[in-house]
Amino acid sequence: MNKSVKVMCFSIVVNLTLSVIKIIVGFFGNSGALIADGVHSLSDFGTDFFAIAGTFFSNKPADENHPYGHGNIEYLTSIGISIGVIIVGISIIYEAIVRKAVIPSIIVILVTIFTIIAKYLLASFILKKGKEYNNHILIASAKESNMDVISSIVVLISSILIQFSNQVPVLKYSDKVSMFVIGIFIVIVGISILKENISLILGQQVDDEEMKCEIESILLKHNKVHGVMSFILIKFGPHYKFSCTLRMEENLSLKEAHKITEELEEKIKEYNHDINYINIHMEPEQNTTL
């Protein structure tokens, strides 16, 4: 089983457990905010399935119709996740507006503290693995899970404040307000994930300066390469596409230039095995001396 899929399977189990706990306790504890938070966790459970499917298909090898593989499925899946997140956020905002104000039970506070700790640990784990595997689906899922941590903190604050509603009557609306805030937060995260992955699917340059400098260093170490005229590194799902134009000695034969290109491609792949699609263009260095 793919490592990323294993992470998502673990996430599914945790999210399903937390969502069931939140919804049940929210229902019996009269907390609309905790129910909304539980629905949010349930949406995590649903998006994890999309994430597993996206990870599986994005790792399919190249074929005749898709010479660069199926990496963009990773971004399409993340876009689907973001749309689902936005829909959940809007539905929670609507429910916050129409719901009647009620005072939740003390048990809501205890359960919320537990879910905050559990969800924080889960989000940190997924984000760590997402960066380790360079998987945007996991990173998107981790961001959405971090949003769940924030929404649970909002629930905790509102649950504490509403206990003082007898002394300060306006605090009886804390539960409704927290539901509204949770909905806004969820929509913001959904839009953020959507924008990021649309940019990636359109061919956004990788912003990892350390990686770009290392590749450029590999190119310039060759004594026949006198400069790098263009440099393009694009993330393509679990892989990278790299193209560049090199300035080389003008008296090189075609055979020599081809051999140098193959050597450079091999060294780049040795540096990072995920750089699978490499295109190196060569231009002769112009001799300006008279």
Average pLDDT, the chain: 81
Q: How far is CA 25 from CA 29, 93, 112, 279, in A?
A: 5, 20, 9, 57
Confidence of residue 287 (pLDDT cuts 50, 70, 90): low
**pLDDT score at 277:** 80
Task: Work out the number of other CB atoms within 10 angstroms of the CB of residue 195.
Answer: 12
Please tell me the number of Cα atoms within 13 Å of 146 on its side-chain side.
Answer: 15
**pLDDT score at 189:** 77
**pLDDT score at 288:** 47
Q: What is the DSSP letter of 170?
A: G
CA dihedral 143, 145, 149, 152 (to 10 degrees): 130
pLDDT over 80 (residue 156): yes
Question: pLDDT tens for residues 39-50?
Answer: 777 766 666 666
Question: pLDDT tens for residues 236-285?
Answer: 766 788 889 998 887 888 888 888 888 999 999 888 877 878 888 888 87
- Per the CB < 8 A criterion, the answer to whether 267 and 220 are in contact is no
**pLDDT score at 117:** 93
Question: pLDDT tens for residues 73-131?
Answer: 777 777 877 888 888 888 888 878 887 777 778 888 898 899 899 989 998 998 898 88
Q: How far is CA 237 from CA 76, 78, 103, 274, in A?
A: 10, 11, 47, 10
Residue with tokens 């393009």: 232
**pLDDT score at 125:** 92
pTM strictly above 0.75 = no
Helix (H, G, I), strand (E, B) or coil at 260: helix
Tell me the helix, strand and coil percentages in the chain, rounded to 5.
70, 10, 20
Which two tokens mark 105? 């039970």
Q: Domain boundaries in the chain?
A: 3-201, 209-284
Please give the CATH number for the structural domain made up of 209-284. Answer: 3.30.70.1350
HEC string of 201-238 equals HCCCECCCHHHHHHHHHHHHCCCCEEEEEEEEEEEECC
| Closest CA relative to residue 239, chosen from 42, 68, 56 | 68
Question: 109 or 185: which carries more pLDDT confidence?
Answer: 109
- Residues 6 or more apart whose CB falls under 8 angstroms from that of 86 comprise 186, 187, 190, 191, 194
**pLDDT score at 121:** 92
CA 9-14-17 angle, to 5 degrees, is 125
Please tell me the number of Cα atoms within 13 Å of 196 on its side-chain side.
Answer: 20
**pLDDT score at 289:** 47
Question: 90 or 8: which carries more pLDDT confidence?
Answer: 90
CATH level 3 topology of 3-201: Alpha-lytic protease prodomain-like (1.20.1510)
**pLDDT score at 113:** 92
**Direct distance between the N- and C-terminal alpha carbons of the chain, in angstroms, rounded to an integer:** 64
**pLDDT score at 230:** 86
- Per the CB < 8 A criterion, the answer to whether 34 and 26 are in contact is yes
